[in-house]
Copies of this chain bind each other. A is one copy, B any other.
């Protein structure tokens, strides 16, 4: 390759990002090379810093720079509401909808037997403890409307009913608005607002 290994190595690394093919990665690498070196150095510095600066909240599992995270530490949030999401990034899109003022819990995945992901791989025991300790009254399952999301919602419902027998916990799930088979992360503000308002009791 003419431009040398440094460019090829950068291209190979960029092409490992989701949605970035080999051709796009090559164009990005050349663009970075064409741009002021200060940009490459800033990007490098943020990448080096990222995992040190951002940890998981020990309560909810969200990404945060402080522990507990700003949401868990916010006394104005409604602690009777607990919203369960698959991944930490789902939390941001819900926060941006400004529809919800309760707490969150990041499961860390969805039950997917074919991919070898079982209930034991998710933060479910922790969720049960939180519900008991924090006196949660409504658990809102904000899981993608996919087979894995449905399976996980059903499992959580059965597991928690058994585990928290006699508790007045209400379990709901975001429903109306989210396109079936879609991804929560791609939902717009309006769709999410509608999903929250139209949530159904499980």
Contact = CB atoms under 8 A, between A and B. Distances in A.
Given A18-B27, A185-B27, A46 B3 contact: no
Interface string A51-65: 101100000001111
Given A16-B39, A45-B44, A47-B10, A2 B53 contact: no
B18 A28 contact: yes
A155 interface: no
Interface in A19-64: 19-20, 24, 26-34, 37, 39-51, 53-54, 62-64
A55 to B, nearest CB: 9
15 contacts: A2-B64, A2-B91, A3-B88, A3-B92, A5-B53, A6-B53, A6-B54, A10-B43, A13-B39, A13-B42, A18-B27, A19-B24, A30-B63, A30-B89, A44-B45
A109 to B, nearest CB: 11
Contacts of A9: 46
B53 A32 contact: no
A132 B72 CA distance: 73
A4 B39 contact: no
Interface in A82-101: 87-89, 91-92, 95
Interface string A174-202: 00000000000100000000000000000
